[in-house]
Structure 1
Amino acid sequence: MPRTARDPRPLSFWLLGALFVAFVLFLYGPMFAIVVLSFQGPEGGLTFPMRGWSLHWFQQLWEGIGTVDIGAALRRSLGLGAVVMVLTVGLALLAGLAYRKKLPGGSALFYVVVASLIMPSIIVSLGVGLLFRLIDGGVKVLLEAWSPEALDSFNTTLGMYSSGLGAQLTWTLPFGLLIMFAVFNRFNPAYEEAARDLGASPWQGFRHVVLPLIAPSLVGVGMFGFTLSWDEIARSSQVMGDLNTLPLELQGLTTTVTTPVIYALGTVTTAISFAVMGLTLGLMRLWRRRRGA
């Protein structure tokens, strides 16, 4: 007989429910505490109890934190995240299309790409940094031989959009590739066959059939790429050159800033992350509505 609303729930239901609530509190409790403490009054500290409510620390954040330009670091993180997002979507899509057919050496390449996920992030960062320092040595040798006057102005190839971008792609691309594998494994090739039967070229079939069907998944890959880049620290720590992203600046501020302004910065960055996820979900919902229409 089906259980009615008046039937008592078994003890296992309440135990599992309590376990789930404890897990949610463990997962989001620290973030909620930081958000609450960021709204303290001017006399507030880094711990409870609260000392008033205000937007004082957000105003302090807007005015700047000492010598650190938070606005510039925020713009750098947004710019780098956007580039990582675009490259992750494009390269993951191309790789997913390539693996739909038998690819010579594809298995070895796949394991090499996925191995980046299980390697310690700091080791990846050190390896990328070492690679670019070797490139620096080669560039200096070439400049010394061909253009000695340019050698004085050359500093390093390490930078946000060179070594930093490469280090972050070692983190985002494996996730994008795994998502595209799952998408194409469930993709019905009969849609493409029907398009070819109607006279569509391979490009037309991809543009008008394949791409609209996998577009929500591509949006999800883009969200993964941006959010993973947005809060990346370990893989970026040794490769960013002279400029830091917002997470690296935030890491440095934790040892020098002793006021709730650091919590205000955490609240702002968390709000941006949730805004990106909300925008992604909105785009996916809009896309489904258009497909349904």
Structure 2
Amino acid sequence: MGDRRSRAFLPLALFFALFVAFLYGPTLTIFILSFQGPEGGMTFPMRGLSLHWFGVLWQGLGVVDVWAAFARSLRLGLIVTVLTVVVSLMAGLAFRRRFVGSTLLFYTAIASLILPSIVVSLGIALEFRILDDFVKASGLGGAGYQSSMGLFTSALGAHLTWTLPFGMLIMFAVFNRFNPAYEEAARDLGAGPWQTLRHVVLPIIAPYLIGVALFGFTLSWDEIARTSQAIGGPNTLPLELQGLTSTVTTPAIYALGTMTTTVSFLVIGLTLGTGLYLRRRRMRGASDAGRGV
């Protein structure tokens, strides 16, 4: 308690405070300006305090259907989350044992983190355009066939090239530190492979799976670069928001930004809360087992 802080503490603390302000200052500014009154503008000082611009947002912003774009982004984010968790878990289990070509497969899987996003998205768009040409030429699509470029085809593939590498790296790190003695004990007690996975492995790694899900949803929720080249017709919410910045000149655009940010924080809070709940439940179970309850 008697130790004095070094002379470097105050400069480092000031630098950290400036970094946090730089990181979250724009978000806080948008949040504050979205609660202006009807006469509010795009900059400070604020003119009144109300929920007027959220009401304007609820009614719609011109020809853009914001709520349809919101629903599209939400559906896409949820599907990307599920696929990211499932595929990352399967990859983590598979890479626990060495197999021929595992190193090449690993670097191929994470290569999209290194490649420019515009290159990846253009490649995906080109693949689906070639697929469209093949379907049209073969007559498989029928007379009403238009394009395979859509929300759950090319856009889904573009998002997975961004979320899967993160999920896989997390699961590889988890299983590298996973103690196989738990599985051996389960097998000694007569558990089969699926019982061991369900009752032993999954409960232990559940917090990390929640982290993978969080990565998958948040990365998909605000993805622009890869989506813009591969989605085809209907836009996701980030693309609509990007387009509205050049046409909407009222704080309604700030209200939309506040809403999307709130959704992100709600997902993060729900994920962290679920992880803490599972951790406490596991610790309570271990404590009860130790007492012989």
Shorter-chain TM range is over 0.9
1:80-229 counterparts in 2 under 5 A? 80-143=76-139, 151-229=142-220
Q: What CA distance in whole angstroms lies between the structure 2 residues aligned with 1:79 and 1:10?
A: 51
| Equivalent residue letter for 1:36 | I
Gaps of 5+ in 1: none
Taking the aligned partners of 1:101 and 1:9, their CA distance within structure 2 comes to 49
Counterpart of 1:9 in 2: which secondary structure? coil
Residue number in structure 1 paired with 2:71: 75
C-alpha distance in 1 between matches for 2:242 and 2:123: 21
Q: CA deviation at 1:75?
A: 0.6
Q: Are 1:258 and 2:249 counterparts?
A: yes
Q: 1:35 aligns with which of 31, 38, 41?
A: 31
Alignment-derived partner of residue 233 in structure 1: 224
1:212 to partner: Cα distance: 0.4
CA distance in 2, matches of 1:278, 1:242: 33
- Name stretches of at least 5 consecutive residues in structure 2 with no aligned partner: 285-293
Q: Could you tell me which amino acid in structure 2 is paired with residue 9 of structure 1?
A: R
- The counterpart of 1:246, out of the listed 199, 214, 237, is 237
| DSSP 3-state at the match of 1:40 | coil
Using the TM superposition, give the Cα deviation of residue 28 of structure 1 relative to its aligned residue in structure 2, in angstroms: 0.3
Q: Distance in 1 between matches of 2:128 and 2:213?
A: 27
Following superposition, the deviation at residue 140 of structure 1 comes to: 1.1
User: C-alpha displacement at 1:209, in angstroms?
Assistant: 0.5
C-alpha separation in 2, matches of 1:103 and 1:207: 24
TM-score between both structures, scaled by the size of structure 2: 0.95
The CA distance in 2 between the partners of 1:91 and 1:225, in whole Å, is: 11
Q: Distance in 2 between matches of 1:71 and 1:52?
A: 27
Report which stretch shifted further, 283-292 or 89-98.
283-292
- The list of structure 1 runs, each at least 4 consecutive aligned residues, that deviate by more than 6 angstroms after superposition, is none
- After superposing the two structures, state which structure 1 stretch, 268-277 or 197-206, moved more: 197-206
Q: CA separation in 2, counterparts of 1:119 and 1:46?
A: 37
Tell me which amino acid in the other structure corresponds to 1:33. T
**Per-residue deviation, 1:103:** 2.2
Aligned length: 284
The alpha-carbon deviation at position 39 of structure 1 amounts to 0.6
- Secondary structure (helix, strand or coil) at the match of 1:78 reads helix
1:288 CA drift (Å) = 1.0
Which one-letter code corresponds to 2:262 in the other structure?
A: A
Amino acid of the structure 2 residue aligned with 1:40: Q
**Match of residue 288 from structure 2:** none
Post-superposition shift, 1:9?
2.0
Partner of 2:287: none
TM-superposed deviation, 1:224: 0.6
Aligned to 2:289: none
The structural deviation recorded for 1:246 is 0.3
Letter in 2 for 1:281: L
Q: Percent identity?
A: 63
Question: Whole-Å Cα distance in 2 between the matches of residues 76 and 226 of structure 1?
Answer: 13
One of 9, 26, 50 as aligned partner of 1:13? 9
Which of these residues, 270, 288, 291, is aligned with residue 279 of structure 2? Answer: 288
